[in-house]
């Protein structure tokens, strides 16, 4: 496809002149621009159709660069950074005054992470500035986990998608802020709460907008396919209840061979939650293109990445 390319040098040129490039990360593809170029940051919001109140995540290549972006790092933030970076953890910390207000939507804090993808790490090391990168999907749509998803969304408005293959984690980073120096989960993500707690002890979870106006992006409706989607506690019962619909089933490990199912999409036949998370958005993209009238998604176990998957399914179903 036309705009997909693996030419890192060209990505550097485009970003340096203030245009946008979609970049691979281990979570999802990001829509990247120079944080210090106001036009580039504006283009990110315009291209996504993203409301201006929703701040962007800054991507850096190394822990040394963190001091250029934030003004204060609580002890537990250092522990988390050392444990999980490069990786799927975003820390929300007080920003340096040099970080433009447009990037943080006027907030005094900035979200920052070191992504764990070899191509993007090389890109970030070679750039002379950090990039801001929200997920490379139009506002409210499903996040992209393959270069083709981004090209389908933005073929007409984007110069380049840097090809890094399929995203290994497949769901967005876990976002952690600090209240009185204690970590609070603002968004469930690719690192499980259990793994976070193994490093810093018990953490509070405030990933709903009502619980936390500090995380303006946690809108109830999000990550949505066009097709109507419901979450099911019992798939056989819902297949009966909705027997007039053209149904796609999104399940954890089982398939439903009944005559009532048009498409079965099983996220992990072996019952592995990491694998299920990695396949979630691709499955939603696929189901959404099959002319179904209803997606029946199985409720996942509330543990490990099952919590993250349920969070995304609930937002998709809202």
Residues near ligand TXA (CB under 6 A) are 25, 27-28, 30, 54-57, 90, 92, 104, 107, 109-111, 115, 133-135, 172-173, 175, 186-187, 214-218
Comparison of 209 and 228: residue with beta carbon closer to ligand TXA: 209
For residue 67, the minimal CB distance to Mg ion (Å) is 27
Comparison of 215 and 239: residue with beta carbon closer to ligand TXA: 215
- How are strands ordered across the β-sheet holding 229-232? 229-232, 294-298, 247-251, 261-266
Q: What does the block give as tokens for 246?
A: 């053209």
For residue 259, the minimal CB distance to ligand TXA (Å) is 39
User: Which entry of Mg ion, ligand TXA, none binds 151, CB below 5 to 8 A by partner kind?
Assistant: none
Q: Which residues of 155-190 are buried (b: 16+ CB within 10 A; e: fewer)?
A: eeebbbbbbbeebbbbbbbbbbbbeeeebbbbbbbb
Q: Binding of Mg ion at residue 135 (CB under 5 A)?
A: yes
Residue nearest to ligand TXA (CB): 217
For residue 48, the minimal CB distance to ligand TXA (Å) is 8
Q: How far is it, in rounded angstroms, from Cα 107 to Cα 218?
A: 15
- Single out the segment in contact with Mg ion by CB under 5 A; choices: 130-138, 190-198, 205-213, 261-269: 130-138
- Residue 204 β-bridge partners: 184
User: Which entry of ligand TXA, Mg ion, none binds 18, CB below 5 to 8 A by partner kind?
Assistant: none
3-state helix, strand, coil in the chain (%, to 5): 30, 20, 45
For residue 206, the minimal CB distance to ligand TXA (Å) is 11
Residue 213, C-beta contacts closer than 8 angstroms, at least 6 positions apart: none
For residue 120, the minimal CB distance to ligand TXA (Å) is 9
Q: Are 109 and 94 in contact (CB under 8 A)?
A: yes
Sites of contact with Mg ion (CB under 5 A) = 135
């Amino acid at each position: 496809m036309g705009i997909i390319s693996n030419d890192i040098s060209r990505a550097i040129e485009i970003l340096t002149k203030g245009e946008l490039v979609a970049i691979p990360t281990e979570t999802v593809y990001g829509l990247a621009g120079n944080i210090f170029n106001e036009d580039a940051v504006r283009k990110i919001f315009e291209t996504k159709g993203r409301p201006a109140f929703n701040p962007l995540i800054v991507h850096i290549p190394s822990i040394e660069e963190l001091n250029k972006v934030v003004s204060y790092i609580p002890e537990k933030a250092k522990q988390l950074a050392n444990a999980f970076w490069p990786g799927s953890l975003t820390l929300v910390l007080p920003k340096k005054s040099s970080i433009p207000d447009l990037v943080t939507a006027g907030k005094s804090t900035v979200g920052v992470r070191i992504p764990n993808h070899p191509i993007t790490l090389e890109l970030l090391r070679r750039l002379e500035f950090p990039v801001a990168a929200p997920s490379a999907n139009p506002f409210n749509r499903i996040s992209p986990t393959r270069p083709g998803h981004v090209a389908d969304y933005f073929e007409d408005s984007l110069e380049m998608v840097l090809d890094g293959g399929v995203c290994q984690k497949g769901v967005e980073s876990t976002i952690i802020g600090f209240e009185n120096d204690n970590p609070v989960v603002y968004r469930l993500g690719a690192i499980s709460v259990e793994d976070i707690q193994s490093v810093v002890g018990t953490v509070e979870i405030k990933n709903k907008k009502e619980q936390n106006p500090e995380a303006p992006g946690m809108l109830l409706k999000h990550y949505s396919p066009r097709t109507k989607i419901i979450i099911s506690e019992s798939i056989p019962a819902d297949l009966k209840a909705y027997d007039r619909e053209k149904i796609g089933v999104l399940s954890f490990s089982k398939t439903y061979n009944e005559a009532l199912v048009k498409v079965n999409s099983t996220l992990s036949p072996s019952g592995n939650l990491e694998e299920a998370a990695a396949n979630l958005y691709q499955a939603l993209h696929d189901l959404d293109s099959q002319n179904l009238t209803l997606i029946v998604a199985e409720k996942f176990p509330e543990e490990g990445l099952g919590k993250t998957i349920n969070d995304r399914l609930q937002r998709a179903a809202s």
